[in-house]
Structure 1
Amino acid sequence: MTTPAAPATPPAETPALHVEVDGSPVADPELLATLMSGYGHFTAMQVRDGRVQGLGLHLDRLDRATRELFDRGLDGGRVRALVGAALEAAGRRDASARVYVYDGARTVVTVRAPFPPDRTPQALRSVTYWRPAAHIKHLGGFGQTFHGEAARRAGFDEALLTGPDGEIAEGAVTNIAFWDGTSVIWPSAPCLAGITMALLAPRLPSTSRRVTLADLPSFRSAFVTNSRGIAPVSRIDGVGLVVDEELMDRVYAAYGAAPWETL
């Protein structure tokens, strides 16, 4: 006698996700879970009169990282439309805008008041830490935030990320460049190629090579760059650096020469 086959076990259903924030249920918990996953990437830009310096570089960055993380592209025209719509909804032509990309190419745009450029000389504290997947402007930057906050509590402005042997990569939220009196030297260690850095490098006598903390006394000056602007460096740990006004005027002029692109 043949034994009847056991009925197939129905596939388990994924439990419904319930999320509350401060005691109130979230309308779309799946979306919130995606945003809280920490897996994604972003770009940050300063918008002036509806235009952005290096807009094409921002769009290329978003597309490359989306392909690497999620195996799909991100249409630049759609990004421009989303940022433009967010600016219009916020009633702003000048703004600090960010574009975040999550799993499934979910795209989030944030808009806030523009950050005025801060050219105050910066004091940096070196720490032994390099960002994972440093070439991506990714989310989940606990390490760099942790070290940045610790540096500020110690009386510095930002952390400088270095390897175990003192090789310099980047600031916690900046790129760094050194001036030897002839060339601008960008460290060759793994780091994020920032948009401001990418706009400056071809407009200045630039080179890239290994730089360590032991090399600091050989440099006259240094400066840091990010989406908020450019600032000179006055010291790294206990090593003082000259704030070279002539150099900085040259750097600011080079950055000012970068064209603005309309969203």
Structure 2
Amino acid sequence: MTTPPAPSPVHVEVDGVPAAGPGVLAAVMGGYGHFTAMQVRGGRVKGLGLHLDRLDRATRELFGRPLPGERVRELLARAVASSGRRDSSARVYAYGDGPRVLVAVTVREAAPDGPGAPQRLTAVDYLRPAAHLKHLGGFAQRYHGDAARRAGFDEALLTSPAGEVAEAAVSNIAFWDGTSAVWPTAPHLTGITMALLAPRLPSAHRAVGLAELPSFRAAFTANSRTIAPVTGIDGVAYPVDEELMARVAGTYAGVPGEEIASGDADGSAR
């Protein structure tokens, strides 16, 4: 008598059809993981070395094991080449699957180059859990962001119960006091673009309260897709400081990209 094969420990169907690699799909659907997002131009990424550092640190924290940068480079280079998009928006995701770390890469159309559209924000009382991680499960960010747009704003500004500014829902924010870009220090994610700009601009890192917002001359948001001027936060209006935005954009443009397929990443940018 032939013993039937043991059933798979995980059975997954999508629209009634068994999914290929159910263990992999189950790990992805579990929603516990982290990622990094980047713009690829000509097969190069600004701050690739620190993207790799981010992935490795978060993998060690969440799953107790490293994620070697060379593995990520290989998978990223393969996905970009397969997509046919040397200019693209790419994301690298890491998921825990027992003793393994699953790595997924997505490659999409590149974000437009140049400054983003002016942003009007509204403050909400919410801080991301484990804010230092670019983790999955951004339900609340999407919820507050969508609510802000329905109310006529472009994005939500995340703040503490005490009214301390942290970050925008999907961006960092900086306030210009006429001398320095002031980056709020309430729990937030240190984004790639922020980490590239802050050491290259006159910058200060300190607590920023909502009551202080009228004292600033200008503000801007920054994420992996764009840098955009902020024209208002609730009842506080800011002019678009063209000189400031040109300076910020020029600073970012001057950061060299790192070749994905080479081994030259030195961690000097993020």
- Relative contact order (alpha carbons < 8 A, sep ≥ 6): 1 or 2 greater? 2
Question: Is 1:61 aligned with 2:54?
Answer: yes
- Indicate the residue corresponding to 2:12 in structure 1: 19
1:63-82 matches, cutoff 5 A: 63-82=56-75
- Indicate the residue corresponding to 1:51 in structure 2: 44
Q: Which secondary structure does the structure 2 equivalent of 1:191 belong to?
A: coil
- Hey, what's the Cα distance between the residues in 2 that align with 1:251 and 1:85? 32
Report how far residue 173 of structure 1 moved: 0.3
- Indicate the residue corresponding to 2:265 in structure 1: none
- Hey, what's the Cα distance between the residues in 1 that align with 2:11 and 2:240? 54
Report how far residue 15 of structure 1 moved: 7.2
1:1-263 matches, cutoff 5 A: 16-103=9-96, 104-117=100-113, 118-263=115-260
- Hey, what's the Cα distance between the residues in 1 that align with 2:172 and 2:124? 15
Report how far residue 25 of structure 1 moved: 1.4
- Hey, what's the Cα distance between the residues in 2 that align with 1:163 and 1:81? 40
| TM-score, reference length from structure 1 | 0.93
Q: Which amino acid aligns with 2:42?
A: D
Q: Which secondary structure does the structure 2 equivalent of 1:222 belong to?
A: strand
Q: Which amino acid aligns with 1:207?
A: A
Report how far residue 31 of structure 1 moved: 1.1
Q: Which secondary structure does the structure 2 equivalent of 1:252 belong to?
A: helix
Report how far residue 229 of structure 1 moved: 1.5
Report how far residue 152 of structure 1 moved: 0.8
Structure 1, unaligned stretches of length 5 or more?
A: 1-12
Structure 2, unaligned stretches of length 5 or more?
A: 1-5, 261-270
Q: Which secondary structure does the structure 2 equivalent of 1:192 belong to?
A: coil
- Hey, what's the Cα distance between the residues in 2 that align with 1:253 and 1:65? 31
Length, aligned pairs only: 251
The structure whose Rg is larger is 1
- Hey, what's the Cα distance between the residues in 1 that align with 2:112 and 2:212? 32
Identity %: 66
Q: Which secondary structure does the structure 2 equivalent of 1:89 belong to?
A: helix
The Cα offsets for residues 63-102 of structure 1, whole Å up to 9 and x where unpaired, read as 0000100111111111111011001111121110000000
